[in-house]
Amino acid sequence: MTETPDFGVVLRAGGVALVLDLSEGGLPAVLHWGADCGALDEQGYSALLATGVLPVAPSEVDVPVRISILPEHTRGWMGRPGLSGSRAGAAWSPLWRVTGAMLDGTELAGASDRTVVNHGAGTLVVTAADDDARLAVTLTVELSEAGIVRTRAELQNLGEEAYQVDELLLCLPTPAIASEVLDFAGRWAGERAPQRRAMAIGAHRREGRRGRTGLDAAMILSVGTPGFGFAHGEVWGVHTAWSGNHVHQVERVLSGEQLLGGGELLLPGEVRLAQGERYESPWVYGIYGDGLDDSARRMHRHLRARPQHPGSIRPVTLNVWEAVYFDHDVDTLLELADRAAEIGIERFVLDDGWFGGRRNDRAGLGDWTVSGEVWPDGLHPLVDRVRGLGMQFGLWFEPEMVNIDSDLARTHPEWIMATGDRLPVESRHQQVLNLGIPEAYAHVRDAMCAILDEYDIAYIKWDHNRDLVDAGTQPLGRAGVHEQTLAFYRLVDELKARYPELEIESCSSGGGRVDLGALDRTDRVWVSDNNDPIDRQQSNRWTTQLVPPELMGNHIASGASHTTNRLHALSFRAVTALFGHLGVEWDLRRASEAELAELEGWIRLHKANRELLHGGELVRLDHPDASLSLNGVVAADGSAGLFAYVSLARASVASPGRIRLPGLLPTATYRVEPALVDGLPHGADTAPWWELGPLELTGAALDSIGVVMPRLRPEQAVLLRAVRVDDDDDPRGLLA
């Protein structure tokens, strides 16, 4: 190692610093990723570099191991290498030499008068090559204004023989104090179940091999200081923004280094590069925060700053799946549209069953033409009624799937993904349509465009209801998940380009496609097929670790859950669904007049607070009593907050005492009061202070002391609203 580095780059934004070393002609290595350390001059940078070098341990290589964002086995890294692959067994351990580096478009190499570059948010692009291995790589490292790191690599084969890429893993180091691991498990109707463990020597590796993100996806794999929670403890997380097979991992080796990594999981032979061809990895995100809420808020700010982030008001939606399932009767649906408009719903979505021979889930997938049997006049009567009532119209598609009992499968059986002469095992009575075949892709695209051209459709619910098994291209059966994932992205991109006002929801057996690869192109995710509010309390709470509320589909369903058959009061269902992109999944014809009036009240309350709910900053309460939960949003300027206090189960005490309301401005004074629709939940006992009317307390008092809440029965919830009293006459109308 030279005494002074060739140059270093210090990126600082959003309270985060990323310090990168490009010495000795090597790929960028991370000297620091975490809390902002301030600007570094040459002396400070050199000291930081020198003080981070580990001593050479006995029986290890004789020089300090330099670990770059793409870790190299050839430099002595004995963990999982960044690049795994070979050219027929050769060129499997490249030694990269940097050939160029640019920061926000400005060349850095040769800047002898600037050995340390201090910068704000920015993008560093480094090119490197191994002339012996005949490989080149371009590595992109970004720090966003919100303090989010993301990295991506593009590998190019310069040799005459094909190069097979087995894995490309991008990694960020974390300190040894990050000794506790948090990620997620899940299943259908039970997505985002948190799981914790202590970090140990070796790799904690989560692989997604389902051909989609997966109901059991790790989502974000985080490591942090022991006992880290929503409001305390440093946390470092990694997210792989890819909607196909993928990897999240953390690895700690015997020398003490610890790396968080992510990338695409490639099936055997899936990426073979001919001379000149390139493989581009997915973006791998690094998310740092002082507590999980800080991490989540940083991620939300990053996503909200994107140019494609939905800028329009999120319309309250009615989806008719749980109202009619496959029983598409025109008069019934027209009546549902009338009821929806009367209570303030703004978007009407027709779900599965409108096309081909799709009278049940065993037939018709792939035949994207309106069923003349069910809809003799096409969808026009329903679309015209919905639009005439002032609502948007949305439609369900599952473009990547096909039933064997369909005209498409009978005409083109070779378009079904398979590894040879056998068909994969069925799931949901369906197979996967190979969109990696150009003709199959064009067929689906053109069929969807024909529907979108004929009808005034503002929204697509895009479903993907099975894992990919034996996902190959006939007749040879070469693995095709990589190409299928790219085809999904390409199809969404084409539709968005052709219909720029079209919004698309990512649904996949519920929450099976919740990742930033999908969200780069779509406008919301369906959190879960399970609308039971008890289960949704968990899945919603943890989905917000990555996804801001306005991109999360949360629906008020019928009193008896279609998934669990549990009964819940409308107030509990509504409070649970309120913190997201609100919708209704209920046969409104069967609702009583009292229920419709109350539902209309909840919709009105949501609309009055929609700007806050969809633009505010997330807060979640750490509390030792697992029977209760508190979550909320606080306006970015501190002007208001809305909090949900939830009784999940019967507690061991009559009252937990004061409950803190975090996130408000400490020195500001707030008027605090309940936000009720149709009174307290049945059987609940009001908090005595509620009888006094709105009270005024400082944000510091609410955060550090809190207020006593009503005594609730299990599976009940109430809302509290805090509005800054010195705001000009409640400009957002939050007290309406």
10-residue averages of pLDDT along the chain (736 residues) = 64 98 94 97 94 91 94 96 97 96 88 77 98 98 98 98 98 98 98 98 98 98 98 98 98 96 98 98 98 98 97 96 97 98 98 97 98 97 98 98 98 96 96 98 98 98 98 96 98 98 98 98 98 98 98 98 97 98 98 98 98 98 95 98 97 92 98 96 95 95 97 97 77 42
**Which two structure tokens, joined as six digits, stand for 557?**
């369903």
Torsion of CA 588, 590, 593, 597, to 10 degrees: -30
Write b or e for each residue in 674-688: b if 16 or more Cβ atoms lie within 10 A of its Cβ, otherwise e: bbebbebbeebeebe
Q: ω before 475 within 30° of 0 (cis)?
A: yes
Return the axis-axis angle of helices 593-608 and 570-578, rounded to nearest 10°.
20
Q: Is 361 an annotated catalytic residue?
A: no
For residue 537, what pLDDT is reported?
Answer: 98
Q: State the catalytic residue, choosing from 183, 352, 367, 463.
A: 463
What is the Cα–Cα distance from 284 to 247, expressed in whole angstroms? Answer: 10
Asked whether 99 and 87 are in contact (CB, 8 A), the reply is: no
**Residue 483 Cα distances to 267, 285, 472, angstroms:** 11, 22, 10
For residue 726, what pLDDT is reported?
Answer: 81
Of 642, 643, 616, nearest to 629 by C-alpha is: 643
Q: State the catalytic residue, choosing from 290, 529, 535, 703.
A: 529
**Which two structure tokens, joined as six digits, stand for 477?**
């059966």
Handedness of CA 535, 538, 544, 549 (dihedral sign): positive
What is the Cα–Cα distance from 225 to 512, expressed in whole angstroms? Answer: 29
Q: Which residues pair with 288 in a beta bridge?
A: 236
Q: Is 463 an annotated catalytic residue?
A: yes
What residues contact 732, with CB distance under 8 A and at least 6 apart?
Answer: 609, 611, 612, 635, 639, 640
What residues contact 398, with CB distance under 8 A and at least 6 apart?
Answer: 352, 365, 462, 463, 464, 465
**Which two structure tokens, joined as six digits, stand for 58?**
């006995």
Mapped onto helix, strand or coil, the DSSP state of residue 597 is: helix
* Count of CB atoms situated within 10 Å of the CB of 84: 17
What is the Cα–Cα distance from 99 to 136, expressed in whole angstroms? Answer: 10
Q: Which residues pair with 427 in a beta bridge?
A: 430
Of 658, 670, 654, nearest to 730 by C-alpha is: 670
Handedness of CA 407, 332, 553, 536 (dihedral sign): negative
Of 406, 511, 416, 515, nearest to 465 by C-alpha is: 511
